[in-house]
């Protein structure tokens, strides 16, 4: 019977281990790669939608966005609020976003090559925003022509500014604002802070500042109707998810949220 030497057994064991090490390392690399793919897959399963929205939608869309996320697992909605004209400029510059909601059809129509087919999701009307208690006793659009009053309006290129200009021209009123603001919420803020006596804002804006601002109604025959169209953006990285969100805005849940905030039916 051949003799087996302990030193030889040790050498064989060492050699075998050395030969198996690359294989074991390779297997370990495959396992690590698999875990990485799973993690990556988990991240890719989440979708973050960026929605450009008119400033007058600030409050209601925060509520709507949360409601959407609650019923659409894996999707988060991030809003960027500004005047519709600012949003249009961002779209033309190629901003990375998925959907757009403006406060007028004119702005949306000017972006036909950049958007999908728009759908009007809500309407709004103007009111005269005054400081709480209406200390200047403003009752009518004609009162805004009083030179003693500090009146602020949205700039003419802003939808709210165009609507304001339209209803003042209809009454042939010469109103000279102390400032023209880049969006309707800026008008509201000036009145709420007491920096202005009055301003023309949407009814939903005035309702968003209880205790600071009161609203003086503008009769329908003297008013203008603001329409809010929503559309996907052609350069969206999440086309299907963006389309689903835009469709949801016309659905019963979103419409209830919009009605509760004072917006009118499309």
Q: Where are the domains of the chain?
A: 124-225
Q: Give the CB-side neighbour count of residue 142, counting CA atoms within 13 A.
A: 1
CA dist., res. 95 & res. 84, Å (int): 14
Q: For residue 44, give the nearest of 242, 246, 237 by alpha carbon.
A: 237
- What pLDDT was estimated at residue 33? 33
- What pLDDT was estimated at residue 44? 55
By three-state DSSP, how is residue 139 classified? coil
Residues 6+ apart with CB under 8 A from 132: 211, 212, 213, 214
Structural tokens at position 45: 């399963």
Residues 6+ apart with CB under 8 A from 83: 54, 55, 154, 155, 158, 159, 182, 183, 184
203, 262 contact by CB (below 8 A): yes
CA dist., res. 61 & res. 237, Å (int): 21
> What percent of the chain stands above pLDDT 70?
83
Q: Computed over its alpha carbons, how large is the radius of gyration of the chain?
A: 30
Encode pLDDT of 121-132 as tens digits: 999 999 999 999
By three-state DSSP, how is residue 79 classified? strand
- What pLDDT was estimated at residue 22? 42
CA dist., res. 205 & res. 14, Å (int): 79
- What pLDDT was estimated at residue 10? 42
- What pLDDT was estimated at residue 253? 98
- What pLDDT was estimated at residue 229? 98
CA dist., res. 198 & res. 117, Å (int): 37
CA dist., res. 99 & res. 53, Å (int): 8
Residues 6+ apart with CB under 8 A from 66: none
Instruction: Give CA 174 to chain center in angstroms.
Output: 34
Q: In the chain, which stretches have pLDDT less than 70?
A: 1-44
CA dist., res. 61 & res. 229, Å (int): 14
The architecture in CATH of the region 124-225 reads 3-Layer(aba) Sandwich (3.40)
């Amino acid at each position: 019977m051949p003799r087996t030497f302990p030193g030889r057994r040790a050498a064989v064991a060492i050699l075998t281990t050395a030969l198996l090490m690359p294989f074991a390392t390779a297997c370990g690399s495959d396992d690590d790669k698999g875990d990485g793919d799973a993690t990556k897959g988990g991240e890719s399963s989440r979708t973050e939608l960026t929605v450009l929205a008119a400033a007058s939608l600030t409050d209601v869309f925060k509520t709507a966005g949360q409601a959407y996320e609650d019923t659409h697992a894996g999707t988060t909605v991030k809003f960027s609020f500004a005047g519709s004209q600012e949003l249009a400029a961002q779209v033309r510059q190629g901003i990375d976003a998925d959907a757009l909601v403006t406060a007028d059809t004119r702005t949306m129509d000017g972006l036909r090559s950049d958007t999908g087919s728009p759908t009007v999701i809500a309407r709004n009307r103007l009111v005269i925003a005054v400081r709480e208690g209406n200390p200047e006793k403003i009752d009518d659009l004609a009162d805004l022509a009083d030179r003693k009053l500090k009146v602020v309006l949205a700039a003419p290129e802003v939808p709210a500014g165009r609507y304001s200009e339209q209803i003042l021209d209809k009454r042939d009123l010469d109103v000279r604002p102390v400032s023209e603001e880049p969006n309707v919420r800026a008008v509201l803020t000036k009145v709420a802070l007491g920096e202005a006596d009055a301003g023309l804002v949407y009814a939903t804006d005035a309702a968003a500042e209880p205790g600071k601002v009161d609203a003086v109604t503008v009769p329908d025959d003297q008013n203008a109707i603001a329409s809010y169209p929503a559309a996907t953006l052609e350069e969206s990285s999440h086309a299907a998810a963006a389309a689903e969100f835009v469709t949801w805005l016309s659905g019963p849940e979103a419409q209830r949220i919009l009605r509760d905030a004072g917006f009118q039916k499309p």
